[in-house]
Amino acid sequence: MVKNLIMYIFIYIILIGCEGNPISFCESNCYLDVQASSLTMNEDGIYELEWLDGYNQTFTTLDAETGSETYTRVHWDTDLGMWYQGEVMKPINYSSYTDEEDGIAHSVLGPWEVMIGKTITIYTTYTDDCGIDYLDSIKVKVINEI
């Protein structure tokens, strides 16, 4: 009897005394799909960004569809950068937020002239309300063919 009472108290403390219920489950319908919808994709699955002659940088917009129905911070990074005044400068905005209406975040990729002919890998991550981490990446090749 005393043993059962102690077990019931222990279960009660775990279920009621803690922040949140450890037995409840968080459901998520989120995902991550990164695209460069304004660019064309070649046969290798790599987006191509045509360099605009006469400029220091050429820009394009990237989209990250998350399926999230809340404002969600999305992180962006690249595998290429450029040294400037002792620091590595990346050609992308580091973070953005989704819109509650469509769950899409946007960022701007702006490679420099020294990146012509190079393929940039863009990594995108975010964590949903359930604490699930998502990662997606795309490749963009900077070309100068016109």
> Which pair of structure tokens corresponds to residue 72?
């969600």
Tell me how far apart the alpha carbons of residues 128 and 133 are, in angstroms, rounded to a whole number: 7
57: Cβ contacts below 8 Å, ≥ 6 apart: 91, 110, 111, 112, 113
**Which helix or strand (DSSP H or E) is residue 4 part of?**
helix 2-12
> Could you state, in order of their start, the residue ranges of all structural domains in the chain?
28-143
Convert the pLDDT of each residue in 57-67 to its tens digit: 999 999 999 99
Q: Domain 28-143 falls in which CATH fold?
A: Immunoglobulin-like (2.60.40)
Convert the pLDDT of each residue in 19-54 to its tens digit: 444 555 788 889 999 999 999 999 999 999 999 999
Tell me how far apart the alpha carbons of residues 59 and 48 are, in angstroms, rounded to a whole number: 12
Give this prediction's pTM. 0.80
